[in-house]
C-alpha cells in the first residue's frame, strides 16, 4: 500500500503528468480544497481571471497559440455557468480545453444546495464529453482520459466535475496511461492512409484544369508540420489556395498563390474561384454556412474532396465526391510523398494545365476587392489595420480579435505567415473573446507582441480582464477600432433593415484612456490618420498593457460581402454595388 | 425575388424523409441516455420511439433502439454524431422495410366496455400473439406484440370498443439468421 493522497492532490498529479504549466481560474467554495493544494505544486502556475468566461477564453488563447491544451479551474454553480460561453466557443472552434469544476458535496447533489447546478447536464451539449466524479478512486483515470479526449481526434473542450468531498477523500494514486493510438479517447481502428485514396486524390488533381485548395482550422490544429506540408503541396502543384477564417496563417498571407480568405467577407477572387472551380480540395475545413452561402448553388460545377479528422464533418453540409477521414498533417505528408514518388508526370504537366485558370483568377484579382476609399480627415478602420500590420509585421506578432467588423477587417488586411498567430472566435462568434484570449496568448508567449484587434462594443464585454493583464504584467495591446457602433449590426441594419439603427449605437462609452489609467495601464488615443503611425509605434514600444482608442469612421462598412441567400459569384464589392442592388434587384455582378 | 433580411442562407431543397431504426450499444453509465437523447433534440432530429435496457450485466452494456425519420443525409449525420459520443460502442442503422430485420413492439391495452365489445376487442388482438393479463367484471388488460404500424392500427380499431389506456414499449430490432451486427 502506497501513501494515501487526497482527490485535490490527484488532480495536480495528473496535471503534472500532462506537463501542465498554467491553469486559468477563479476560486470559490466548492473548489477550495484544490486551491488549497495549489501551493504544493510549484511547476503549475495559476492565473487568476476576473470572471470565469475570461478564464475560459484565456485558456483558449493559450491553447490555440501554443498547441497545448488549456486548463480551466472554476467553482460550482455560477463558476461553471460562467464558463459555459467559453466551453461552447472552444467546442465550435475545436480548441482543446480541460475544465475542472468544483461541485457541492455528493450528499447534497440534487438538493438545490448553495451554488449547486447540474454542471454536467448544462455542459453536455458544449463539451466533447464530461464526467461527474462520484468516487475518488475513479478520479485519476477520469482526469487522464479528460486530457486524452480533449486533445485527440478533432480537439475540443471537456469538463470534469468534482464534488467537494471527493476533493478531500484520500486514496492510492495509480495512473496507467495507455500508449495505444486513440481517437476521441476511443481506440483508433486504422490510422493509415491508403495509397488507393491518395491515388484517387492525385488522379482528380491530374484531370482538373480549375483546381483550388480550400483549407481550414484543421491544418492549424494538426500542428506546425501540417502547415509545412501544405506549403510544400501548394508549391509543387501550383494550385491556388484560399483559407477559412480559422485557417489563416497555415499558408503565408502574402504569397502570390494565396487568394485571401473566402466566405461572406472573403475576397472576390477566392469566392469566384470557389464558385467556378472544377476541383475543390477541402483540407481541414467544415463547409460552414459563412463559407457556403446557399448550399444548392455552392460551387455547382466542381468535384469535391474533403479531408477531415472528424467523420461527422464530412457530408454534413455539402456532399463530396471523395472523403478521406484522417489527420490532415499525416494526409498532406503522405500525399506529397506519393506525388513525388509515383506521379512525376503530374509534376511536369500540372502548371501548364492550370495556366488558363490563373488568368481567370488574375482577372478577378484586378477588382481589388479589399480596396477602400481612404481619407485624410478620418481614420478608416481598414487603414488602421493595414498600418498596424506594416508596423508589426517584422516582429513575430500574435493577433486576437473580438467579433464583428473589426474582426473581418483584421482577417482581410493583416497577413499571417505562420500558424498559431491568429486567435479569433469564428464558430460561436463570441464578442468579448479577444481581450482574455490575448491574456492567455501572452502567458504562453511572454516575450512576443500580442495585439487584440478589438471593437469598442465587444471589448467592454470582458474589459475586467485588463485587471488580470496588469496583475501578471502582461503587455497585451488592446487596439480598439472605436466607431461607437456595434458595427456589424449597424451594417446589416443599413443594408437590410432600411437604416433602422435599432439599439446598435452605444450612447455612453467610457473614456478608454482614463479607463486604461484606472486599471493601471497605458491609454493612447488616435483620431487623425497622420498621427496613427507614431501612436502605433508608441504602443508597440511600451512594455506594459495598453488600451489604444483608435477613433475610426463610424459609418464604414465591411466589403466585399456575399449578401444573404446569394451564391459566391454575386458579391457586393462596395457601397456603389449596394446602390445598384437596390435599384435593380437580381442584377448580378459577374 | 424579395430581398432576404437574414444573415443566414435560405434553406435548400430537402431530400425525402425515411424511417430508420437506429440501434446503439452504450456503456450503461450515468447520463448516457441524456447524451444520446440530447444529441437528437439538440440537432433537431426526431425520436418516434425509444427502447433501452442493459443487455450485458457483466460489461454494463445497454442497447438503445431508436425509431427516427429523416432524409438520408440527416440519418447519416445521426449515425456519425452518435459514433463520436465517448460511451457509444457501435451504431447500427436499419431501414424500416428491411426484410432481414425483425422489428417488434409490445403494447398493453386496457379495455373497459360491454361483454360484447370486449369480445370483439379480444378477437382483434388475437393474431398479435395476445395474452389477457388481467380481467375484471367489465374490463381486461391485454398484451400484444406486433409491428409499430400494426399497433397504431389496433389502437384505432380498439378505440370505439372501450380502449381506455395504452402503454407501448417502443420498437426493438434484431437481424434474422445466424449473423449478428458487428
Average pLDDT for residues A491-507, to the nearest whole number?
Answer: 93
User: Residue A177: pLDDT band by 50, 70, 90 thresholds?
Assistant: low
DSSP character at residue A370: T
Helix axes A405-413, A487-496, angle to 10 degrees: 100
- The Cα–Cα gap between B31 and A505 comes to 44
- The Cα–Cα gap between A456 and A434 comes to 12
**Chain A residue with minimum CA distance to B82:** A312
Residue B9 to residue A185, Cβ atoms within 8 A: no
Residue A312 to residue B5, Cβ atoms within 8 A: no
- The Cα–Cα gap between B56 and A85 comes to 38
pLDDT tens for A354-405 read 999 999 999 999 999 999 999 999 999 999 999 999 999 999 999 999 999 9
**A residues 340-359 near B, CB within 8 Å?**
none
Strand partners, B56: B61
Residue with cell 441516455: B33
Tell whether the model's pLDDT for residue A189 goes beyond 60. Answer: no
- The Cα–Cα gap between A290 and A102 comes to 37
Residue B9 to residue A293, Cβ atoms within 8 A: yes
User: Residue A143: pLDDT band by 50, 70, 90 thresholds?
Assistant: very high
Higher pLDDT, A261 or A351: A261
Tell whether the model's pLDDT for residue B155 goes beyond 90. Answer: yes
pLDDT tens for A563-572 read 877 888 888 9
Interface test with A, best of B7, B26, B35, B74 (most A CBs within 10 A): B7
Tell whether the model's pLDDT for residue B165 goes beyond 70. Answer: yes
The whole-number pLDDT of residue B176 equals 94
The whole-number pLDDT of residue A579 equals 52
Residue B31 to residue A124, Cβ atoms within 8 A: yes
Average pLDDT for residues A439-453, to the nearest whole number?
Answer: 98
Average pLDDT for residues A206-231, to the nearest whole number?
Answer: 97
Average pLDDT for residues A168-197, to the nearest whole number?
Answer: 76
Buried b (16+ CB within 10 A) or exposed e, A127-152: bbbbbbbbebeebbbbbbbbbbbbbb
What phi-psi label fits residue A113: left (phi over 0), alpha (psi between -120 and 50 degrees) or beta? beta
The whole-number pLDDT of residue A582 equals 38
Interface test with A, best of B86, B87, B89, B90 (most A CBs within 10 A): B86
The whole-number pLDDT of residue A590 equals 27
Contact A101, A72 (CB under 8 A): no
Residue A319 to residue B73, Cβ atoms within 8 A: yes
Residue B7 to residue A492, Cβ atoms within 8 A: yes
CA distance B77 to chain A (A): 6
The whole-number pLDDT of residue A589 equals 32
The whole-number pLDDT of residue A570 equals 86
Contact A452, A479 (CB under 8 A): yes
Tell whether the model's pLDDT for residue B2 goes beyond 90. Answer: no
Tell whether the model's pLDDT for residue B118 goes beyond 50. Answer: yes
Residues of A in contact with B81 (CB under 8 A): 312
Cell triple for B139: 374490463
Tell whether the model's pLDDT for residue A153 goes beyond 90. Answer: yes
The whole-number pLDDT of residue A182 equals 64
Residues of B in contact with A588 (CB under 8 A): none
Rounded CA Rg of chain A: 25
User: Residue A186: pLDDT band by 50, 70, 90 thresholds?
Assistant: low
State the ipTM, two decimals: 0.90
Contact A103, A161 (CB under 8 A): yes
What is the DSSP track for A23-91? EEE---GGGHHHHHHGGG-TT-EEEE-SSHHHHHHHHHHHHHHHSSPEEEEE-STHHHHHHHHHHHHHH
Average pLDDT for residues A321-336, to the nearest whole number?
Answer: 95
B27 half-sphere exposure, CB direction, 13 A CA radius: 9
The whole-number pLDDT of residue A585 equals 35
Strand partners, A453: A401, A479
The fraction of chain A above a pLDDT of 90, given in percent, is 87
Contact A433, A402 (CB under 8 A): yes
pLDDT tens for A262-287 read 999 999 999 999 999 999 999 999 99
Tell whether the model's pLDDT for residue A300 goes beyond 90. Answer: yes
Q: Which residues of A are catalytic?
A: 52, 114-115, 164, 488
Tell whether the model's pLDDT for residue B1 goes beyond 70. Answer: no
Tell whether the model's pLDDT for residue A455 goes beyond 90. Answer: yes
Average pLDDT for residues B54-68, to the nearest whole number?
Answer: 96
**Chain A residue with minimum CA distance to B88:** A186
- The Cα–Cα gap between A224 and A227 comes to 5
Average pLDDT for residues B106-111, to the nearest whole number?
Answer: 98
Residue A312 to residue B77, Cβ atoms within 8 A: yes
H helical segments located in chain B: 32-42, 72-84, 115-125, 148-158
Query: Which element (helix H / strand E) includes B52?
Result: strand B49-56
Tell whether the model's pLDDT for residue A136 goes beyond 70. Answer: yes
Claim: this prediction has a pTM higher than 0.90: yes
Average pLDDT for residues A108-126, to the nearest whole number?
Answer: 97
pLDDT tens for B19-38 read 999 999 999 999 999 999 99
The whole-number pLDDT of residue A584 equals 37
Residues of A in contact with B42 (CB under 8 A): 125
User: Residue B6: pLDDT band by 50, 70, 90 thresholds?
Assistant: confident
pLDDT tens for A541-561 read 999 999 999 999 999 999 999
Sign of CA dihedral A462, A463, A468, A472: positive
The fraction of chain A above a pLDDT of 70, given in percent, is 95
φ, ψ (nearest 5 deg) of residue A482:
-90, 105
- The Cα–Cα gap between A174 and A194 comes to 38
The whole-number pLDDT of residue A76 equals 98
The whole-number pLDDT of residue A184 equals 66
H helical segments located in A215-327: 217-221, 224-237, 268-276, 289-292
Nearest Cα neighbor of B165 from B110, B90, B99, B89 is B110
DSSP character at residue A562: P
Tell whether the model's pLDDT for residue A507 goes beyond 80. Answer: yes
Tell whether the model's pLDDT for residue A587 goes beyond 50. Answer: no
- The Cα–Cα gap between A324 and A398 comes to 32
Tell whether the model's pLDDT for residue B103 goes beyond 80. Answer: yes
- Return mean pLDDT, chain A: 94
**Chain B residue with minimum CA distance to A123:** B35
Amino acid at each position: 500500500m502506497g501513501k494515501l493522497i487526497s482527490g485535490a492532490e490527484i488532480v495536480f498529479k495528473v496535471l503534472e503528468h500532462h506537463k501542465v504549466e498554467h491553469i486559468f481560474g477563479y476560486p470559490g467554495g466548492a473548489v477550495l480544497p484544490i486551491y488549497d493544494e495549489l501551493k504544493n505544486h510549484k511547476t503549475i502556475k495559476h492565473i487568476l481571471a476576473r470572471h470565469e468566461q475570461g478564464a475560459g477564453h484565456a485558456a483558449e488563447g493559450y491553447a490555440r497559440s501554443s498547441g497545448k491544451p488549456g486548463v480551466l479551474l472554476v467553482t460550482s454553480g455560477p463558476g461553471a455557468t460562467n464558463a459555459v460561453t467559453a466551453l461552447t466557443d472552444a467546442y465550435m472552434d475545436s480548441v482543446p480545453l480541460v475544465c475542472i469544476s468544483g461541485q457541492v458535496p455528493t450528499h447534497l447533489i440534487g438538493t438545490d444546495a448553495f451554488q449547486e447546478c447540474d454542471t454536467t447536464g448544462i455542459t453536455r451539449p458544449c463539451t466533447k464529453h464530461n464526467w461527474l466524479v462520484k468516487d475518488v478512486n475513479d478520479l485519476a483515470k477520469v482526469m487522464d482520459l479528460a486530457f486524452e479526449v480533449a486533445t485527440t481526434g478533432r480537439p475540443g473542450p471537456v469538463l470534469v466535475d468534482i464534488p467537494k468531498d471527493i476533493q478531500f477523500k484520500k486514496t492510492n494514486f495509480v495512473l496507467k496511461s495507455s500508449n495505444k493510438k486513440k481517437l476521441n479517447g476511443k481506440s483508433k481502428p486504422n490510422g493509415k492512409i491508403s495509397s488507393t485514396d491518395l491515388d484517387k486524390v492525385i488522379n482528380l488533381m491530374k484531370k482538373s484544369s480549375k483546381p483550388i485548395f480550400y483549407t481550414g482550422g484543421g491544418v492549424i490544429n494538426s500542428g506546425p508540420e501540417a502547415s509545412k506540408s501544405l506549403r510544400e503541396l501548394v508549391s509543387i502543384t501550383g494550385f491556388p489556395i484560399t483559407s477559412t477564417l480559422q485557417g489563416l496563417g497555415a499558408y503565408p498571407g502574402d504569397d502570390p498563390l494565396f487568394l485571401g480568405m473566402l466566405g461572406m467577407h472573403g475576397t472576390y477572387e477566392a469566392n469566384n474561384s470557389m464558385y467556378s472551380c472544377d476541383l475543390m480540395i477541402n483540407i481541414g475545413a467544415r463547409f460552414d454556412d459563412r463559407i457556403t452561402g446557399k448550399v444548392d448553388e455552392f460551387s455547382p460545377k466542381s468535384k469535391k474532396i474533403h479531408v477531415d479528422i472528424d467523420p461527422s464533418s464530412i457530408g454534413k453540409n455539402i456532399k463530396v465526391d471523395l472523403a478521406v477521414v484522417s489527420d490532415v498533417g499525416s494526409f498532406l505528408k503522405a500525399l506529397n510523398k506519393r506525388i513525388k514518388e509515383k506521379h512525376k508526370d503530374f509534376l511536369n504537366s500540372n502548371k501548364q494545365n492550370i495556366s488558363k485558370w490563373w488568368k481567370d483568377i488574375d482577372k478577378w484579382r484586378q477588382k481589388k476587392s479589399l480596396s477602400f476609399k481612404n481619407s485624410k480627415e478620418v481614420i478608416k478602420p481598414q487603414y488602421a489595420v493595414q498600418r498596424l500590420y506594416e508596423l508589426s509585421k517584422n516582429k513575430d506578432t500574435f493577433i486576437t480579435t473580438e467579433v464583428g467588423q473589426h474582426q473581418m477587417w483584421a482577417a482581410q488586411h493583416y497577413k499571417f505567415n505562420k500558424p498559431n498567430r491568429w486567435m479569433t472566435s469564428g464558430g460561436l462568434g463570441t464578442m468579448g473573446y479577444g481581450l482574455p484570449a490575448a491574456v492567455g496568448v501572452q502567458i504562453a508567449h511572454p516575450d512576443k507582441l500580442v495585439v487584440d484587434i478589438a471593437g469598442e462594443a465587444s471589448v467592454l464585454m470582458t474589459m475586467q480582464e485588463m485587471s488580470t493583464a496588469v496583475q501578471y504584467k502582461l503587455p497585451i495591446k488592446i487596439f480598439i477600432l472605436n466607431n461607437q457602433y456595434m458595427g456589424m449590426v449597424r451594417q446589416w441594419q443599413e443594408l437590410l433593415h432600411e437604416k433602422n439603427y435599432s439599439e446598435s449605437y452605444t450612447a455612453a462609452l467610457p473614456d478608454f484612456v482614463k479607463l486604461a489609467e484606472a486599471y493601471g495601464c497605458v491609454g493612447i488615443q488616435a483620431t487623425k490618420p497622420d498621427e496613427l503611425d507614431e501612436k502605433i509605434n508608441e504602443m508597440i514600444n511600451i512594455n506594459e498593457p495598453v488600451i489604444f482608442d483608435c477613433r475610426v469612421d463610424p459609418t464604414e462598412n465591411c466589403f466585399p460581402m456575399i449578401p444573404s441567400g446569394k451564391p459566391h459569384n454575386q458579391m457586393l464589392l462596395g457601397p456603389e454595388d449596394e446602390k445598384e442592388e437596390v435599384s435593380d434587384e437580381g442584377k448580378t455582378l459577374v | 425575388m424579395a430581398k432576404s433580411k437574414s444573415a443566414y442562407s435560405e434553406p435548400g431543397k430537402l431530400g425525402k424523409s425515411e424511417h430508420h431504426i437506429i440501434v446503439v450499444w452504450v456503456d450503461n453509465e450515468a447520463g448516457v441516455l441524456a447524451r444520446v437523447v440530447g444529441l437528437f433534440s439538440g440537432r433537431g432530429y426526431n425520436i418516434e420511439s425509444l427502447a433501452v435496457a442493459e443487455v450485458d450485466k457483466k460489461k454494463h452494456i445497454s442497447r438503445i433502439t431508436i425509431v427516427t425519420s429523416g432524409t438520408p443525409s440527416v440519418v447519416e449525420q445521426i449515425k456519425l454524431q452518435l459514433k463520436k459520443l465517448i460511451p457509444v460502442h457501435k451504431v447500427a442503422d436499419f431501414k424500416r422495410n428491411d426484410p432481414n430485420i425483425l422489428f417488434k413492439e409490445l403494447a398493453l391495452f386496457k379495455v373497459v366496455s360491454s361483454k360484447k365489445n370486449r369480445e370483439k376487442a379480444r378477437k382483434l388482438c388475437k393474431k398479435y400473439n395476445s395474452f389477457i393479463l388481467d380481467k375484471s367484471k367489465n374490463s381486461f388488460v391485454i398484451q400484444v406484440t406486433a409491428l409499430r404500424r400494426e399497433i397504431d392500427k389496433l389502437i384505432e380499431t380498439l378505440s370505439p370498443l372501450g380502449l381506455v389506456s395504452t402503454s407501448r414499449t417502443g420498437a426493438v430490432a434484431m437481424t434474422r439468421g445466424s449473423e449478428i451486427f458487428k
